[in-house]
Structure 1
Amino acid sequence: MFLKRITLQHEKIPSYHEYPFTIPSIKSFDKLDLNRNVTFLVGENGSGKSTLLEAIADKCEFNTAGGNRNNSYTVHAADAALGEYITLSWMPKVTNGFFLRAESFYHFATHVDDTDMSGYKYYGGRSLHEQSHGESFLSLFLNRFKGNAIYLLDEPEAALSPQRQLAFLRIIHDLTINGDCQFIIATHSPILLGYPDATILSFDDGCIEEIDYEMTDHYKITKYFLDNRERFLKDILED
């Protein structure tokens, strides 16, 4: 792994009453130490996990709309408001990698159509727009993701069926088994969160803290639903 620590530079913050420091988990952390090849960021929508992930991408000089240093295009609202207030500590530093922003992946695919000169070598041999949403994500993971790199993924499960999420877990395993790739993934998927020996950082409760898989709401709610489907649905649907 490469990225070892993320530090918030509190002395540079002009006001804790302005975004993104109105997010409790963001304004309250001082530093985050990363010690495993795979780190998951979990929490409710608006809890700050995507905000932090975009800031890391910005400091890596990846396109915060999606892509890496070589993908130059713009999408509205892709600015990383937190980027100038964090520092990244590396050992060693890497410049290869990719930032996947699921909500703007369509724009990335259009950018590839406009600029690709390789016959879509890194995307399965055809335009991402000519593949299903899930196929295009897997084509990216299988063909463009290589070793000696850091991958920042914001809700990659958005396009993946449960079966393809399992296939993606195998891709993560194959890329990290020798320690030459690092993944930081914001997700709501209980399947992805089950990846062994990963760190799970929760952004709920106004702070960022490491939790066990079985303590995530994603696991607990999914397990309760599967074990008690009829009772669960009756409780939430009855008048």
Structure 2
Amino acid sequence: MDVFLRSLMLRREEVLDFGKYPLAIPAIRNLERLDFHPQVTFFVGENGSGKSTLLEAIAVAAGFNAEGGSRNFNFATRRSESDLHQHLRLIRGVRRPKTGYFLRAESFFNVATEIEKNEDAMAGHGGVLHHEMSHGEAFLALVKHRFWANGLYLLDEPEAALSPQRQLALLKSIHNLTQQQCQFIISTHSPLLLAYPQARIYHLSEKGIAEVQYEDTEHYALTRDFLNDRERYLRRLFED
């Protein structure tokens, strides 16, 4: 199966200053090429590692609004995106997505407001009033009513508003959509989401970007150690 996005490359020859944000971020500074999984690719790393910055740049380079939404959205509550997208080259597959969406947790409120301003957008989102739901309910309603087959979906920390049970519901929705020729690129801290079978996981750190296995992620290891011996873990944590 061909994919919508095969890979990305950083146009390093066009960069004038690697000491300037966001190219000064180690993971971005050392970036050359990343290959995407045909179904699900994850970016993981500590806060400030650059995973959301990279995902945002991919979204903008792919034609999405920086604050989120579909390619038909064009608004700016407060411009905050970096210029990294200008230095990225996306290598696309032969197929083109019929739909797509960029979901970022921190600006979904703004997207929901824009949806309610437009009758066509409301209809395309199932007529749902996202502001009348909890944050988590609104996320899942968006996936249910607006994520369709043959789509490219970029999700920035979608677990931010979701309980563990709702994260599993999202995982099931992602799986159902991958069976309908969809491709996902996701920035996350969630060990539940990261467990998606055969997904490609990239870890962003001070050393750069490296592909890792699920069991080798800090998210999995820390959660496993904590749950295996909670009292010992807490005792050691508080003593330190």
User: What TM-score do the two structures reach when normalised by structure 2?
Assistant: 0.94
Q: After the TM superposition, which residues 164-203 of structure 1 pair with which residues of structure 2 at under 5 Å, given as runs?
A: 164-178=166-180, 180-203=181-204
Pair 1:110 & 2:131 matched: no
Query: Structure 2 vs 1, CA of residues 36 and 69 (structure 1 numbering), >3 Å: closer, same or farther?
Result: closer
2:31 is matched with which residue? 29
1:223 is matched with which residue? 224
1:17 is matched with which residue? 19
Distance in 1, Cα, partners of 2:132 & 2:82: 30
Identity %: 49
Runs of 4+ in structure 1 over 4 Å off: none
Secondary structure at the aligned position of 2:205 is classed as coil
Query: Structure 2 vs 1, CA of residues 125 and 143 (structure 1 numbering), >3 Å: closer, same or farther?
Result: same
RMSD: 1.5
Q: Unaligned regions of 5+ residues in structure 2, if any?
A: none
Residue-by-residue CA offset, 1:23-54 (whole Å, 9 max, x unaligned): 01101111111233100000011111111111
Residue-by-residue CA offset, 1:34-92 (whole Å, 9 max, x unaligned): 23310000001111111111111111110010112111210224323200000001112
1:131 is matched with which residue? 133
Distance in 1, Cα, partners of 2:82 & 2:150: 24
Q: Is the 8 A contact 1:58 1:80 kept in 2?
A: no
Distance in 2, Cα, partners of 1:117 & 1:81: 31
Q: Is the 8 A contact 2:126 2:146 kept in 1?
A: no
Question: Number of residues paired by the alignment?
Answer: 237
Distance in 1, Cα, partners of 2:98 & 2:52: 21
Q: Is the 8 A contact 1:57 1:152 kept in 2?
A: yes
